[in-house]
Amino acid sequence: MAGQRMARREEVGWDGAAVGVRVQSCV
């Protein structure tokens, strides 16, 4: 999943919702 890659780089937290929002914003 692309979300995991971004989450790993940001290292913000494995919340899921936050990761999804970040991924959608990047896309």
Q: Per residue in 1-27, pLDDT tens? A: 555 555 555 555 556 666 666 655 555
Give the pLDDT score at 11.
56
Give the pLDDT score at 2.
54
Give the pLDDT score at 6.
54
Q: Are 4 and 10 in contact (CB under 8 A)?
A: no
For the chain, how many helices (H) and strands (E)?
A: 2, 0
Q: Cα separation of 25 and 13, whole Å?
A: 17
Q: Cα separation of 24 and 3, whole Å?
A: 9
- Model's pTM, two decimal places? 0.21
